[in-house]
Amino acid sequence: MLATIGSLAVAFVLLTAGASRADGYTFDTGDILRVSVIGEQSYPLEVVVDDRGSISLPMLGDIRARGLTTVALSQAIQQAFQQQKLILEPFVKVEIGQYRPFFISGTVAHPGSYPFQPGITVRHALAIAGGFRATAVGNTEPALEIADLRSARANLAIEEYRLKVRLSRLQAESRQDKSFVAPPDPPVEFGGQLIAGIIASEQAQLDARLAAYRDDISYLETSLDRAKKEAAMVAATRDEREKTANIQLQELQSARSLREKGLITNSNVMSAERAHTSYRAELAQTEFQQEQAQQAMLNAESELRKKHQSRDMDLIAQIQDTQVELGKTQSQIRYVADKLLFIFTYGEQRTLDDLQGSVKISIFRREQKIAHDIVADENTEVRAGDVIEVSVVANKGFYAPDSGTIASPNAANPAIQPSVVGQ
Please write down the HEC assignment for all residues of 25-76: CCCCCCCEEEEEECCCCCCCEEEECCCCCEEEECCCEEEECCCCCHHHHHHH
In a domain, 8, yes or no: no
Q: Are residues 47 and 176 in the same domain?
A: no
Domain coverage including residue 91:
31-99
- The rounded mean pLDDT for the chain is 78
Query: Domain tally for the chain?
Result: 3
Quick one: which H or E segment has residue 113? strand 112-114
- DSSP-assigned letters across all residues of 365-376: EEETTEEEEEEE
In a domain, 16, yes or no: no
Residue 161, CA distances (Å) to 165, 191, 198 in order? 6, 13, 9
How far the first Cα of the chain sits from its last, in Å, is: 72
pLDDT 10s digits, 297-306: 888 888 889 8
Average pLDDT on 24-48 reads 88
How far is residue 117's CA from residue 98's CA, in Å, rounded to a whole number? 9
Contacts by residues 400-405 (CB-CB < 8 Å, ≥ 24 positions apart) = none
Q: Are residues 156 and 233 in the same domain?
A: yes
Residue 211, CA distances (Å) to 4, 167, 177 in order? 73, 19, 12
Task: Using only the alpha carbons of the chain, give its radius of gyration.
Answer: 37
Q: Are residues 91 and 110 in the same domain?
A: no
Edge-to-edge strands of the sheet including 92-98?
45-48, 32-37, 92-98
Give the model's pLDDT for residue 163. Answer: 93
Residue 40, CA distances (Å) to 3, 16, 37, 43, 152 in order? 18, 20, 6, 6, 56
Q: Are residues 375 and 284 in the same domain?
A: no
Q: Are 308 and 281 in contact (CB under 8 A)?
A: no
232-248 burial code (b ≥16 CB/10 A, e <16) = eebeeebeebeeebeeb
How far is residue 408's CA from residue 208's CA, in Å, rounded to a whole number? 48
Give the model's pLDDT for residue 67. Answer: 86
Q: Are residues 279 and 371 in the same domain?
A: no
Q: Are residues 62 and 112 in the same domain?
A: no
Q: Are residues 338 and 385 in the same domain?
A: no
Q: Are residues 129 and 35 in the same domain?
A: no
Give the model's pLDDT for residue 415. Answer: 33
Q: What is the DSSP code (8-state) at residue 130?
A: T
Position 136 pLDDT exceeds 60: no
189-218 burial code (b ≥16 CB/10 A, e <16) = beeeeebeebbeebbeebeebeeeeeeeee
Task: Specify the range with the lowest mean pLDDT, choosing from 185-194, 220-229, 372-381, 382-391.
Answer: 185-194
Q: Are residues 115 and 168 in the same domain?
A: no
Q: Is 162 helix (H, G, I), strand (E, B) or coil?
A: helix
Looking at 292, 316, 346, the residue that finishes a domain is 346
Q: Which residues contact 19 (CB under 8 A, 6 or more apart)?
A: 70, 71
Q: What is the DSSP code (8-state) at residue 264?
A: S
Give the model's pLDDT for residue 43. Answer: 86
Closest listed residue to residue 176, CA positions, set 140, 137, 210, 222: 210
pLDDT 10s digits, 230-251: 888 888 888 888 888 788 788 7
Q: Are residues 148 and 262 in the same domain?
A: yes
Q: Are residues 184 and 276 in the same domain?
A: yes
Position 141 pLDDT exceeds 70: no
Closest listed residue to residue 108, CA positions, set 414, 390, 306, 351: 390
Position 410 pLDDT exceeds 50: no
pTM of this structure: 0.42
State how beta strands 32-37 and 359-367 pair.
unpaired
How far is residue 333's CA from residue 419's CA, in Å, rounded to a whole number? 13
CA atoms within 13 A on the CB side of 411: 7
Q: Are residues 251 and 194 in the same domain?
A: yes
